[in-house]
Amino acid sequence: MILTGMGSLIPLLMADPEKMVRTDGTKVTTPRQPSWKTEIYGLYIALRTDPLIILLFPMFLASNWFYTWRKSDCPCPSLSLTLTVLLAQNSMTTTLPYSTFVRGR
Q: What confidence tens digit (pLDDT) does each residue in 46-80 have?
A: 999 998 988 988 888 877 776 655 555 555 555 56
10 Å CB burial of residue 94 (0-12, 13-18, 19+) is middle
Residue 1 in this model has a pLDDT that exceeds 70: yes
Share of the chain above pLDDT 70, in %: 61
Q: At residue 38, does pLDDT exceed 90? A: yes
Which phi-psi region, left, alpha or beta, contains residue 94 (left: φ > 0; alpha: ψ -120 to 50)?
A: beta
Q: Is the pLDDT of residue 37 over 50?
A: yes
Number of H helices and E strands in the chain, helices first, is: 4, 0
Any idea where the domains of the chain sit in the sequence? 33-72, 74-105
Q: In angstroms, how far is the first alpha carbon of the chain from the final one?
A: 35
Q: Are the CB atoms for 74 and 88 separated by under 8 Å? A: yes
Planar angle of CA 94, 100, 101, nearest 5 degrees: 80
* Residue 42: band (very low, low, confident or very high) from pLDDT cuts 50, 70, 90: very high
- Please state, in angstroms and rounded to a whole number, the distance separating the CA atoms of residues 9 and 6: 5
Is 0.85 surpassed by the pTM of this model? Answer: no
DSSP label of 14: S
